[in-house]
Amino acid sequence: MATNTPPWSETRPTALIVLADGTVIEGKGLGASGEAIGELCFNTALTGYQEILTDPSYAGQIVTFTFPHIGNVGANEEDIEDLHPAARAGAVGAVLRADISNPSNYRALGHLDDWLKRRGLIAASGIDTRALTALLRDKGAANAVIAHHPDGQFDIEALKAKAREWSGLVGLDLAKEVTSGQSRTWSETPWVWNEGYGGAEETPAMHIVAVDYGAKRNILRLMAGLGAKVTVVPAQTAAADILALKPDGVFLSNGPGDPAATADYAVPMIRALLQTEIPLFGICLGHQLLALALGASTVKMHQGHHGANHPVKDFTTGKVEIVSMNHGFAVDGDTLPEGVEETHVSLFDGSNCGLTLTGRPVFSVQHHPEASPGPQDSHYLFRRFANLIRARQGEPALAE
């Protein structure tokens, strides 16, 4: 059994992280009590812990934060990304180095530990996250159980078996677990300092249908902020039902799980939309599903890309952007068929991060342009999508 030395005063650990290979890491329990199983990964972002933990793309995952101080700015009800907070879409656990400090931010409404409890999220602090990150870097993302029992009583052998027997994310369709239950209209626009979030235009310039595989709020806000009426539909919505809404453009959202599993129902719908001239834009899982619909393949990554400091090059502009990423699967760039061009690539490992269908108003990116790590390096992608729509409407283009 491998353990780390706890930096707190308790003689008995109240949290354990148990990996499928039998590794046991001791810590201090925070947030909700209980146990959760998932894929253990690491995220290198310095900020945005609420957005990360509530990103539906993290469903089925336990997030190790490499930045040691998490919780400093407290918690609020605005910095969340899932559309359905009651369903608790997002990460199933969090791993921290330092204990959570008292909040120090004018927007804070409470302590992060209390927020974790309300969301039912299990967390462990006092973990040597540098050592754990090195382990995941070398051996890859790991199936694991995170457990928090305030009395310090654990059945370690049962936890090892639970982690060992979990099938993992490969072959798992999680989009259907986090998607909207019914169609809805999105009206919130981006946050403005000292004003908060705005409302949508009374006379929208375009209508975008967003297919919700686990959509993030800020993606929808940015589209609404460009003057669009945004209709969110469930992941399994048929192409005929989408077309019946008379969209000017269709957006394929981010989401969790294995794209090859979600493809069972997503690819036929996307291929039907590709028979029309309606502009299509995909992000993250939406990018992967579009690639599958076009005949490419996806692969499981060794450790995935999770962070807000990833350099990506856009071949269409020649510029390098600093972007936010969260994905454990990727499009195999070598399988892109004729007529499909690679538009973006990761400068960390050369993996595919974008594509376009030659001569058609269809494109997608792997990274999250709405997350603003650059801070707005990739916001032009939303204007690019809007311009594809405006071109079909005979309207002048927006400046990208």
The first and second tokens of residue 7, run together, are: 């930096």
Q: Which residues pair with 310 in a beta bridge?
A: 323
C-alpha gyration radius of the chain: 21
> Which one-letter amino acid corresponds to residue 239?
A
Whether 368 is a known active-site residue: answer: yes
Q: Is 160 left (phi over 0), alpha (psi -120 to 50) or beta?
A: alpha
Q: Given the residues 310, 327, 344, 368, select the one marked as catalytic.
A: 368
> Which one-letter amino acid corresponds to residue 269?
M
* Four-residue CA torsion sign, 197, 200, 205, 207: positive
Question: Phi and psi dihedrals of 371, rounded to 5?
Answer: -80, -10
Whether 305 is a known active-site residue: answer: no
Q: Which of 28, 38, 18, 17 is nearest to 152 (CA)?
A: 28
147-157: b (≥16 Cβ within 10 Å) or e: bbbeeeebeee
Q: Given the residues 148, 284, 321, 353, select the one marked as catalytic.
A: 284
CB atoms within 10 A of CB 324: 26
Catalytic residues: 284, 368, 370
